[in-house]
Structure 1
Amino acid sequence: MGAAGEVLVGVVVLVGLFGVVVQVLPGGLLVAGAVVVWGVVTGGAAGWTVVTVAVLATVLAGVGKYLLAGRHLQRKGVPGSTLVWGGLLGVVGFFVIPVVGLVVGFVVGTYAAEWVRLRAHDPAWKATVAALQATGVTILVELAGALVCTGAWVVGLAVT
């Protein structure tokens, strides 16, 4: 792959890393996709090793983030239906309030669902905080996977 292609892959990787943190783009998949394209085009032992590492890191992060977040929410007693309502209001908020609507909608939806279920402020707020913590866990795990992909790509660049 030429220098222009490698720069393009680097730009997509940076956009993907940004997408992991901001959660507007499918960041982990963007990073993995760009690195896999680089590895396939580059070929050879280095290219295919990078592809393998990128795919494994992305799959493990994808599975791990849901397992860890689910375990956290289960320990805190937050039902899945609450997250569905939080997610739905997050989507509505995304379109109603520019920039911060997704987060605002998720918090309001999660709190409202728990308040309706429990009819008390304190447990509803604790469930909302637990949902936000679980969201943070998913972001960190996905970021770790994307950074492993990025690291494999950088090593692959240095080797080739």
Structure 2
Amino acid sequence: MELVTVLAAVLVAVGIVGIVVPILPGLVLVVAGVAAWTLARGDTLAWIVLAVVAAIVVIGSVVKFLLPGRALRDAGVPGRTLLAGAVLGVIGFFVIPVLGLFIGFVLGVYLAELARLGGHDAAWPSTRRALSAVGWSIVIELAAGLLAAAVWVGALVFA
């Protein structure tokens, strides 16, 4: 049981890091760690903890996409601009590991807005809005991951 708890803790910790450094599926690893612990423990408390963690992750994932997406739509940033950012972000990830994702996303959004709006003065504010939305998305996902981890740690400490 102790080995499974250590494995679960490693998965949860790597998941939290994966949220901030987008190489790993952060929230999926957090849930996987808690699920491994739940299966090993097998009692009612463990299953309740897993259900609460899963609910936190689902709600956090939904909010992570809804709030920033709405802010971008309200700001008039089109979906194809975000698609261009995502495509260049993925390409950048392979060209410059880790940092390339961020650099490629910014470059993709900027170039798409430059082509759409015709000048730096018009393209840069949209790029900043897109960066802000991505930042909020990461903050929301991190909050969900930390809350899920706190629920699990609370069960470890108080059970």
Which TM-score bucket, shorter chain as reference?
A: over 0.9
Question: 1:25 maps to what in 2?
Answer: 24
Structure 1 CA distance for aligned equivalents of residues 53 and 155 of structure 2: 11
- Deviates further, 132-141 or 95-104: 95-104
RMSD of Structure 2 on Structure 1 (CA) = 1.1
Structure 2 CA distance for aligned equivalents of residues 56 and 98 of structure 1: 32
- Residue correspondence of structure 1 range 27-106 to structure 2 within 5 A: 27-106=26-105
Once the 2 structures are TM-superposed, how far is the Cα of residue 37 of structure 1 from its aligned partner? 2.2
Q: Are 1:36 and 1:54, in contact at CA under 8 Å, matched by a contact in 2?
A: no
Q: Structure 1 regions of 5+ residues with no counterpart?
A: none
TM-score calculated relative to the size of structure 2: 0.95
Query: Which 4+ residue blocks in structure 1 deviate beyond 3 angstroms?
Result: none
- Residue correspondence of structure 1 range 110-129 to structure 2 within 5 A: 110-129=109-128
Question: 1:12 maps to what in 2?
Answer: 11
Amino acid at match of 1:40: L
Q: Structure 2 regions of 5+ residues with no counterpart?
A: none
Structure 1 CA distance for aligned equivalents of residues 36 and 98 of structure 2: 31
Name the SS of the counterpart of 2:109 in structure 1. helix
Structure 2 CA distance for aligned equivalents of residues 92 and 154 of structure 1: 37
Once the 2 structures are TM-superposed, how far is the Cα of residue 6 of structure 1 from its aligned partner? 0.6
Write out per-residue CA displacement over residues 30-83 of structure 1, whole angstroms, 9 at most, x where no aligned residue. 101211221233122210110111110000001001000111101211011000
TM-score calculated relative to the size of structure 1: 0.94
Name the SS of the counterpart of 2:114 in structure 1. helix
Once the 2 structures are TM-superposed, how far is the Cα of residue 21 of structure 1 from its aligned partner? 0.8
Structure 2 CA distance for aligned equivalents of residues 152 and 118 of structure 1: 47
- Deviates further, 127-136 or 150-159: 150-159
